[in-house]
C-alpha cells in the first residue's frame, strides 16, 4: 500500500501547479505540507516546519511514509487550489519571492500566507495604508555602530524621515519616489537588514538598517513599495499596474571587491568595493560606506562605452584585468579570479547593450552636472 501511495504522489507532483514549489516556484519539489495540501522545495519545507506543526505538517515525498488520508488531502487540494485561498488578495506592491531571494523575503511570504493569513479573504496587512512609523537600527555614518532611529513613512508627503531624537527635527528627509531599497543580509551581516539608497546633492547616499524581528523589516520593505506604487499610479494614470510594479525597487546587479588604478597608467592598484546598480557603477573604500568614492554612469555602446578583457595599453595586467571605456575616462580594473572577471564583464556588457530609458538619461544628467559643477569631488574624480 505504501508503495502504491508513493507512486500516486509521484504522479501528483508532475501535474501542472504541483511541479513547482507552492511558495517560491522552484522546480525542485521534494516535499509537501500534508495538512495544507501543497508541494514544496527543500528550503520552503524547512520554513514551513519552523512555523510549527499546528500550522504546517511537512513530509518528504519519497523518504517518508504516507497514509491514505494524507494522500487524499494532497489530491483534494494541490498547489493551484491552495493559491486561490492563500493568495486570494496579495497586494500588487508585494514582492513575491523566487527561489534565490533572501531568506527574510521567503520566510515572511510563507508566514504571511499560512500563519497570519494576510492574503486570505479577510486579511488586511497594515503596510498598505501609506503610513508607517517605528524604530530601526541604523548604522552610523562615521562609525560602524548601529543605533535605534525613529523612521516615519508618509505616502501623502512622499517622504521617509528618520529622527535621532524623537522630539527634534528629522536628521534626513528622503523622497519615497527617489529612493531604492534592497535586502543586504550578507553585506550587513544581519539576516533582517536593508540598504536604502538615494541621491543627496548629486551623489548617492547609502543607509544601512536592520531590525531583530524579520516581520518588521519585511513590512517596511513592502510599505515603501506600496507607497511608491500608489504615487506612481497617480503620476502615470494610464500606465499598467504591471509596468509600474517593475519600477518599485531593484536589487543590485552585482557587488564585490575589485582592484582599480587611478587615471594615470603609473598609478598603483587599490582595493575597492564595487556595486553595479542598474546603470550606475559605484566604488567604495568599504562595503558599508555611506557614500561611494566614485560613480560611473554606464551609457550605451553606441555612445562610446565598452568593456573588454585585459589591461589598457601600457598598463600591467594583474592576471584578471579588464578595461572599461567611457567617453570621459578609461578604467583599469582587476578581479580576483577569471570567473569573477568574466561575470563583471558580462553584467556590464548587458547594461551597455540596453537602450537608455528616460529615467536613465535623467540620472546621467544629475551625475554629469555634479562632475562639471564647482564641487566635483566624487564623480569621475578618480581618487
Catalog residues that contact Zn ion under the rule CB under 5 A.
Answer: 21, 23-24, 26, 41, 44
Smallest gap from residue 98 Cβ to Zn ion (A): 9
Nearest by Cα to 124 from 209, 1, 226, 17: 226
Smallest gap from residue 23 Cβ to Zn ion (A): 5
Instruction: Between 79 and 159, name the residue whose CB sits nearer to Zn ion.
Output: 79
Smallest gap from residue 122 Cβ to Zn ion (A): 26
Instruction: Between 24 and 128, name the residue whose CB sits nearer to Zn ion.
Output: 24
Smallest gap from residue 19 Cβ to Zn ion (A): 12
Instruction: Between 26 and 192, name the residue whose CB sits nearer to Zn ion.
Output: 26
Instruction: Between 32 and 281, name the residue whose CB sits nearer to Zn ion.
Output: 32
Instruction: Between 25 and 342, name the residue whose CB sits nearer to Zn ion.
Output: 25
Grid coordinates given for 360:
536613465
Smallest gap from residue 60 Cβ to Zn ion (A): 14
Instruction: Between 15 and 346, name the residue whose CB sits nearer to Zn ion.
Output: 15
Smallest gap from residue 38 Cβ to Zn ion (A): 10
Amino acid at each position: 500500500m505504501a508503495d502504491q501511495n508513493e507512486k500516486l504522489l509521484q504522479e501528483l507532483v508532475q501535474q501542472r501547479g504541483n511541479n513547482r514549489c507552492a511558495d517560491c516556484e522552484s522546480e525542485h519539489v521534494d516535499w509537501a505540507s500534508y495538512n495544507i495540501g501543497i508541494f514544496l522545495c527543500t528550503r520552503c519545507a524547512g520554513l514551513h516546519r519552523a512555523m510549527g506543526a499546528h500550522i504546517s505538517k511537512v513530509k518528504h515525498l519519497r523518504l517518508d511514509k504516507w497514509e491514505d488520508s494524507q494522500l487524499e488531502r494532497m489530491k483534494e487540494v494541490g498547489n493551484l487550489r491552495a493559491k486561490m485561498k492563500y493568495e486570494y488578495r496579495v497586494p500588487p506592491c508585494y514582492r513575491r519571492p523566487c527561489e534565490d531571494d533572501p531568506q527574510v523575503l521567503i520566510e515572511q511570504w510563507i508566514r504571511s500566507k499560512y500563519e497570519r493569513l494576510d492574503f486570505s479573504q479577510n486579511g488586511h496587512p497594515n503596510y498598505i495604508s501609506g503610513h508607517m512609523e517605528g524604530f530601526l537600527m541604523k548604522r552610523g555614518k562615521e562609525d560602524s555602530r548601529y543605533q535605534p532611529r525613529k523612521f516615519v513613512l508618509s505616502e501623502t508627503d512622499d517622504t521617509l524621515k528618520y529622527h535621532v531624537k524623537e522630539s527634534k527635527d528629522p536628521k534626513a528627509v528622503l523622497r519615497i519616489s527617489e529612493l531604492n531599497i534592497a535586502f543586504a543580509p550578507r553585506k550587513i551581516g544581519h539576516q533582517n537588514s536593508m540598504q536604502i539608497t538615494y541621491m543627496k546633492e548629486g551623489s548617492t547616499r547609502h543607509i544601512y538598517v536592520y531590525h531583530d524581528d524579520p516581520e518588521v523589516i519585511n513590512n517596511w520593505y513592502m510599505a515603501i513599495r506600496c507607497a511608491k506604487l500608489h504615487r506612481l499610479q497617480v503620476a502615470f494614470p494610464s500606465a499598467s499596474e504591471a509596468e509600474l510594479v517593475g519600477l518599485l525597487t531593484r536589487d543590485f546587479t552585482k557587488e564585490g571587491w575589485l582592484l582599480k588604478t587611478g587615471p594615470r597608467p603609473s598609478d598603483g592598484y587599490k582595493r575597492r568595493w564595487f556595486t553595479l546598480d542598474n546603470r550606475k557603477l559605484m566604488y567604495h573604500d568599504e562595503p558599508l560606506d555611506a557614500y561611494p568614492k566614485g560613480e560611473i554612469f554606464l551609457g550605451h555602446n553606441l555612445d562610446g562605452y565598452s568593456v573588454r578583457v585585459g589591461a589598457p595599453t601600457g598598463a600591467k595586467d594583474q592576471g584578471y584585468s579588464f578595461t572599461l571605456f567611457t567617453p570621459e575616462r578609461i578604467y583599469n580594473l582587476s578581479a580576483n579570479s577569471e570567473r569573477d572577471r568574466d561575470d563583471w564583464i558580462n553584467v556590464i556588457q548587458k547594461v551597455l547593450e540596453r537602450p537608455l530609458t528616460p529615467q536613465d538619461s535623467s540620472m546621467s544628467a544629475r551625475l554629469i552636472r555634479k562632475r562639471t559643477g564647482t564641487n566635483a569631488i566624487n564623480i569621475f574624480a578618480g581618487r
